[in-house]
Amino acid sequence: MKHYDIAAFVWPSYTGDEPRTRIFWPEGIGEWQTVKAMTDKGYKGCRWPRIPTWGYVNEADPSVMEMQIDCAVSYGVNVFIYDWYWYDNRPFLENCLNDGFLKAKNNNKMKFCLMWANHNATHLWDKRNSDKDLDTVIWSGVVTPEIFDNICDRTIEKYFSKENYYCIDGCPVYMIFDIDNFLRSFGTSDECKKAIEKFRQKTIDAGFKGLHFQIVHWRNRIFNWLDDSDTQKGVTSSEMYDFLGADSVTSYNWGCSTDFDGDFIDVTDSYMKSITEEQKKLNIPFYPNISVGWDNNVRFNNFVPGVVENNTPESFKAACEKVKDFADESIKNGIMKAPFITINSWNEWTETSYLQPDDLYGYGYLEAIKEVFTEE
């Protein structure tokens, strides 16, 4: 039996312990406030309200995370990828990781790693304003080279140093969500490359074999937005990854590579076709993703197009099998260096893409993971 590292993204908004979240969710329970407000709006594919089996728990509570860790690993999910934020020169939404997961007595059962979610913060998280204003930037995801240097030091000391930080071939995995904002942080692609190389050297100096620098791949495109003076203006995604020295790419969800709308089976086939073609254009591994679904109308009052329908546990299991086949072939051909598969997600309730049990499908999605990726 082949071992798989099934890595589920964790959206760390389900706590009121972070004071700055009150500007979005004033009730003090994090984004559970938005989840509780969602009702059946009557559009095709709407299957709300949904009630979490475990209740509206505080995921920054270590006892809660102990329960969730036990559940996750029993069904084959053995890595949590924490969405990680840095706004106004300080971390944001770290409580679920620092106070919940890392203080859980059983966290040695589960690996973890970080995805720097360096997108801009807007009113998307505030249902009172999301319909009328998504352009206003509350916090920018762009930093300065000096701030990034501090982030690197802090990440190595606070997270890479943990025995259960997830590595590929002895190198801690560090993922970047928004490659455009990341490039903007350094002014030019050349300076960005230098910053990555410096981060890599810092990681080696800390005693690791190296750094596994992973980028969320947003389809194959051309970097025409760069300044005319940038040496990489007009390059393709593959060329940019090679220039920066990236080690691999993955998807945050299927919307990174296909239109996230329509029947789940059709969207599955479209994603698989897309990443099969995209992998051929890359010189680095594409670690595939499994998405549970998509409907972010939870965050809006008015209807927003783009809803994945019929994402039943049975259809999800079929998708798992197709992604497993892709991974097996990539490993066989020496492309993927680890049996690493990302899942969106552990708890993205407001995007209707979560593995956690609810009153609609119970533990159905987790059962599918277990049946496809584990063996009794």
- In the chain, what percentage of residues exceed pLDDT 90? 98
pLDDT value at residue 2: 64
Q: What is the dihedral of CA 272, 212, 351, 367, to 10 degrees?
A: 70
Whether 216 has a pLDDT exceeding 80, the answer reads yes
HSE-up (13 A, CA, CB side) for residue 355 = 29
First to last CA, the chain: 10
Count other Cβ atoms within 10 Å, centred on residue 202: 17
pLDDT value at residue 1: 43
CATH number of this structure's domain 5-373 = 3.20.20.80
Q: Considering only CA atoms, which of 359, 367, 366, 370 is closest in space to residue 54?
A: 359
Please state the rounded mean pLDDT for residues 200-218. Answer: 98
Tokens matching residue 254:
């299927």
- In the chain, what percentage of residues exceed pLDDT 70? 99
Phi, psi angles (nearest 5°) of residue 343? -130, 130
Tokens matching residue 168:
């590929």
Q: Considering only CA atoms, which of 299, 282, 242, 361 is closest in space to residue 127?
A: 299
pLDDT value at residue 15: 98
Locate all alpha helices (DSSP H) within the chain, ordered by sequence: 32-37, 62-74, 95, 145-155, 179-184, 189-205, 237-244, 264-281, 313-332, 364-373
CA distance 100 to 230: 42
CB 232 within 8 A of CB 239: yes
Q: What is the pLDDT of residues 248-281, one digit of tens each?
A: 999 999 999 999 999 999 999 999 999 999 999 9
Whether 376 has a pLDDT exceeding 70, the answer reads no
What is the rounded average pLDDT for all residues in the chain? 97
CB 265 within 8 A of CB 322: no
Whether 160 has a pLDDT exceeding 60, the answer reads yes
If pLDDT is split at 50, 70 and 90, which confidence band does 375 have?
Answer: confident
